[in-house]
Structure 1
Amino acid sequence: MSSLAPLKPMKRFLDNVLESAVIFAVALLVIDVLWGVFTRFIMGSPSRWTEEIARLLLIWVALLGAAVAFGRREHLGFDYLAEQLDPAVKKMMALITQSIVIAFALVVMVYGGSILVSETLAANQVTPALGLKMGYAYLALPLSGLFIVIYGVEQFLGICSTDAKSIEQPQDSGSDPPPRS
């Protein structure tokens, strides 16, 4: 039994929550944009709030979507050089990479994002059309950073408990360009 087996239900739960949140936000984004197009071009009187909601939803979709992609190991990766390395070096590089990602997510996203949220809430910055506090929009940054840290620690522990010869690289999206003729 893997030493990470107790983490699997937690990861599955986190995956489901994040994926559901992103799907819900994308659905709201589509409805909002369609409403904006309808009111502008069909009704002739554009809705003032649709563009603002779309902007706020896009922030959340992008940042939470990045956490989902990282958790699935489907994020952008260049693994050609890593595949050429000796398995022990490859494992060490994977651990270093995960450490850098975790440190970045902690410092820039969680810590920096938390400062951004608290400063904008303290300054009472609001959106022009809806009057929503901007700190709530920026809350996506530290939250997605926290999720990336959780996924990063889980992946780091997975690398530590894996034989060097079976280290996984980020998954190939399967979207290689067609061969030139």
Structure 2
Amino acid sequence: MRVVLRYIDIFNKYLTIIMGLFLGIMSVVIFFQVFSRFFLGLPLPWSEELARFLMIYTVFFGAAVALRHQKLIAIEVIAESVSKNTRRLIKTVANGIGIVFFIIVLIKGLEVMERVHNQVSAAMQLPMSVAYAAIPIGAVLLIINGIAVIIELYTVEEGEAES
């Protein structure tokens, strides 16, 4: 199982690089939009749309990576005040509920993608399913990382850092 965790962590490193690229591209596009609009008098109509789409993907990717490192907001007062086995059970149940939610998000995201496929974005003329694909892609990544957290609860001792 540690091999599975290692592959998921390697994948998440690449995902983090992709997020960095998306944020970099988004920053450059927004800079050029501001420069073009205020100094050249030529607004770039596609820039805001591209920046928005990149931000949507970055948020979903970031949520998945944050889940893997257990950095999402959580109330752990109860879990921290009980025994190790009970804590493990509580965290397993909480992550299991999260995974069920992400499966629902995946199914509904696919339905929405199908519904909006014939619509195109205003500026870039891309099918809106490109933007909405972030929902099921993000849900799959969240499911994978939620499973990884559960696996880690039972294969890695507390305090032991997984590299």
Which structure 1 segments of 5+ residues have no match?
169-181
Rg comparison, structure with higher value: 1
Is structure 2 residue 64 aligned with structure 1 residue 70?
A: no
8 Å Cα contact 2:99-2:142 kept in structure 1:
yes
Is structure 2 residue 140 aligned with structure 1 residue 146?
A: yes
Partner of 1:84: 81
**Pick from 28, 39, 48: which aligns with 2:45?**
48
**What TM-score results when the alignment is normalised by the length of structure 2?**
0.89
Partner of 1:95: 92
Which structure 2 segments of 5+ residues have no match?
none
Q: In 2 relative to 1, CA 82–8 (structure 1 residues): closer, same or farther, beyond 3 Å?
A: closer
Q: Secondary structure at 1:6's aligned position in 2?
A: helix
Rounded Cα–Cα distance in structure 2 between residues aligned with 1:156 and 1:167: 16
**What TM-score results when the alignment is normalised by the length of structure 1?**
0.81
Partner of 1:135: 129
Rounded Cα–Cα distance in structure 2 between residues aligned with 1:28 and 1:157: 35
RMSD of aligned C-alpha atoms? 1.8
Is 73-82 or 26-35 further displaced after alignment?
Answer: 73-82
Runs of 4+ in 1 over 4 A off after TM superposition: none
Is 32-41 or 83-92 further displaced after alignment?
Answer: 83-92
Partner of 1:171: none
**Pick from 2, 7, 18: which aligns with 1:5?**
2
Percent identity, please: 24
Structure having the higher helix fraction is: 2
Rounded Cα–Cα distance in structure 2 between residues aligned with 1:5 and 1:39: 50
**Pick from 115, 121, 125: which aligns with 1:119?**
115
Q: In 2 relative to 1, CA 126–112 (structure 1 residues): closer, same or farther, beyond 3 Å?
A: same
Partner of 1:105: 102
What is the one-letter code of the residue matched to 1:98? N
Rounded Cα–Cα distance in structure 1 between residues aligned with 2:144 and 2:57: 18
How many residue pairs are counted as aligned between the two chains? Answer: 160
1:89 shift after superposition: 2.1
1:72 shift after superposition: 2.0
Rounded Cα–Cα distance in structure 1 between residues aligned with 2:5 and 2:68: 12
Rounded Cα–Cα distance in structure 2 between residues aligned with 1:90 and 1:74: 17
Is structure 2 residue 19 aligned with structure 1 residue 17?
A: no
Rounded Cα–Cα distance in structure 2 between residues aligned with 1:36 and 1:162: 48
Q: In 2 relative to 1, CA 146–167 (structure 1 residues): closer, same or farther, beyond 3 Å?
A: farther
What is the one-letter code of the residue matched to 2:43? P
Is structure 2 residue 151 aligned with structure 1 residue 157?
A: yes
